[in-house]
Amino acid sequence: MIESGPPPNPIHPCHDLPIFFEGSLDSSRYIDEVIEIFMAEMKKDNENISYIVFQQDGASCHAFIETMSHLKSIFGRTNSVSRNSDLKWPARSPDLNPLDFYLWRRLKDLVSKNRSETIEILKTQITDAIRNISVDELERVYISFVSRLVRCIEAGCGYFE
C-alpha cells in the first residue's frame, strides 16, 4: 500500500554526495563508505529513518549477505530494496528508480556542457551539478516517483506507461 501523502520531509539533500571510488567496491567498503556516510547524514539532521526506503540496483556489493544484514539492522526487513531483500521490487524497472528516470540524465545534461580535461575536473563538475539541483526539482521528482508507483500497482505490477 502506498500512502497518498508525503512523509514529513520527503526531500533531504545529502551534502556529502557524490562519493567517488577508486578500484572495486566490495561489501565491506560499500557499508563503510556509502551506507554509513548516508546514515551519518540522516542522523546529523535527526531524520526519521522509518520513512526511508534504501533502494539499490543489482550490483554484487549491494546484494551480499553482509550488506543485506547490515541494512536490515538499520531499516528492518521492508525498508531496503535490492536483489536479495525481503521487499519485492519489479526487476529491471528504471521507471521506478529516480536515479534512472531522472538523475543520470540530468547530470549528463549538466556536465556534458563543458569538456572535462581531467578526472578531477569531471568530479568537480559532477559534484557541482548535484549540489545545484534544487529542492523544488527534487520535490517534483518525488511526486513523479509516487505517481509511477501508483501506476505500477494499478497495472498489477506489470507494464505501464
Place of cell 508507483: 149
Q: What is the pLDDT of residues 124-150, one digit of tens each?
A: 999 888 888 888 888 899 899 889 888
Band (4; pLDDT cuts 50, 70, 90): very low
pLDDT of residue 66: 93
Predicted TM-score of the model (pTM):
0.71
Q: Before 94, cis peptide (omega within 30)?
A: no
pLDDT of residue 133: 86
User: What CA–CA distance (Å, rounded) separates 16 from 36?
Assistant: 11
So where are the chain's domains?
A: 1-89, 91-161
Judge contact between 31 and 70, C-beta under 8 A: yes
Q: What is the pLDDT of residues 42-82, one digit of tens each?
A: 777 766 777 777 888 778 888 888 998 998 898 887 777 77
- The CA-atom distances, in angstroms, between 77 and each of 50, 53, 58, 81, 109 are 11, 11, 18, 10, 36
Q: What is the pLDDT of residues 146-159, one digit of tens each?
A: 898 888 888 877 77
Burial track 79-112 (b if 16+ CB lie within 10 A, e otherwise): bbbbeebeeebeeeeebbbbeebbbeeebeebbe
Q: What is the pLDDT of residues 71-116, one digit of tens each?
A: 889 888 777 777 777 777 776 777 888 888 888 889 898 888 888 8
Q: What is the pLDDT of residues 18-30, one digit of tens each?
A: 888 888 889 999 9
**From the CA atom positions of the chain, what is the Rg in Å?**
17
User: What CA–CA distance (Å, rounded) separates 148 from 161?
Assistant: 9
Judge contact between 107 and 126, C-beta under 8 A: yes
